[in-house]
Structure 1
Amino acid sequence: MAFQVDPVSPLEGETLKLNCRYKSNRRWNKDVSFYRNGKKIHSMRFTGRGSSYSIKVNGTEDSGRYSCKIGGSESRNVNVLVRERFAKPVLRVEPTAEVFEGLPVTLTCTVRAARPSVHLHYSFYRDSAALEAVPGHGSMYTINAAAANVAGNYACEAINTVYSLRKRSNSIHISIKQAFAVPVLIMRPEGQLFDGQRVKLVCWVEANPSQASLQYSFYRNGILLQAPSDHSDYISESARPTDSGTYHCEVTNGKVWKRSNQLYLSIKRSKNSIRLMFELLSMFWL
């Protein structure tokens, strides 16, 4: 009785051919069974001197001792070692898995293949949802500017479409640190403001863990009052009623922009101003 396996060292996805032959010239009408590690994997009717069975090996778990039986006769064992067509991918994150908002993050899916000719496609996932990769970037996925909404658990998948093989990496958690706090616009002094009074607006940032240089801008009714500068305050030495309006400030480190709350400033005419206005009107009508 002869038993042959071809090939004995296949790659994942390849077909394994098992051939069980009986050396006698007698024609049998019995079952032939094929085994892996002593467990039956297939049976068929043996009607001639030989029977063949082909199986696709899906992974290294298909490695083992293969044999066949015809009636009460059993073949020798043939050791089959299934090799990985490509290894489980490894996901790398650069520069680090914990980055400040606004900075770029690059994910690279690294795979060790059995042969240079193994062609792979790649997919990337965040919290198990597929991400749309940039065409032509292959094993890389880039987040151009990290923001709070991109934090999550990332993984990549290597795919060989020819043999329908897919392998996914372990996940890596990417967390996004706040570069600086949301600014708060403060008015000095607080309370009612009058014509001619000195007014100071302060764009206050509580925390700047990235220690980046910050630039401040001030707006009234959406119109820019002070172009970006390193001055965190805006001062009107002698406010006028025409300066009344809705104010806010914006802060940037060159990569991230954050907007403050809004403050409405109402600047009233002082009693002296009103009295002077009436005196001028009286002189005009005399």
Structure 2
Amino acid sequence: MSNGPELALPAVYNLADLRAQVRQWRADGLRIGFVPTMGALHDGHLALVKQALDTADRVIVSIFVNPTQFAPGEDFESYPRTLESDAQKLAEIGAHLVYSPDAGEMYPEGYVTTVTLTGPTHGLESISRPHFFNGVATVVCKLLNQVQPDLAVFGEKDYQQLMVIRRMVRDLNLPVEIAGGETVREPDGLALSSRNVYLNANERERAARLNVILHDFAEALSRGDNVADAQHQAQLKAQTAFDGVDYVVARDAENLEALPAGPIERDARVLAAVRVGKTRLIDNRAAPKT
């Protein structure tokens, strides 16, 4: 069951071997959980795996740096690739299988099919990264079809992505439960991200401001402040704190639609994407109606 490096837990590198293992587990009546990742695993990823382990008999973790969700000039080539240490971390918490295909396995010669959504893909990440969600939806759809899990867990840190995947699964009638995992943070509140390794010491200190700004923004909405006023204040704080601001906005928590003026009338989500030095950070916070 190996066409790659020796790892700390069982691994498969092609679809045939993956399906053979899944078929065996299915024959044994086991419930299968799945966590898709691009590797460079941190405690946030591991929390998603632990969540899957809570309700599944076997958990598969995919590690695949997906080229179709990177635009020219983004960090595809430099994105951290740490398969051996990732597998060690997964073995230590009890994951059962790593699935690590290469690009040729995922997108063989002549591949032409993509998955395209509207709805929750509009705005936010799509403004500066218009390619992104087609790449994400396509690779996630392929992975779900390849693994055929009962449950798949995605992090709430990438909240728009979670909403896109839930819509895709619903619209395409894919037989899988999609669960969201809470964002894991550093002690100073910075959301864990594989890209945090790009930050130098000064940038790392400044990056922690993002959580504070979003926390205050969410609290303002929950206590009944006007959406437009609270959003404007949060945007001003972000423009002062960071080297670039793609967005700092409030959206409907269920469908990511823009909110009307005035106090929120249902649960909201505040979301941001900013740049600290050359590193782009995203984060979000729940703003429940109280």
TM-score normalised by the chain length of structure 1: 0.22
Higher relative contact order (CA 8 A, sep 6+): 2
Task: Answer with 1 or 2: which has the greater Rg.
Answer: 1
Structure with higher helix content: 2
Structure with higher strand content: 1
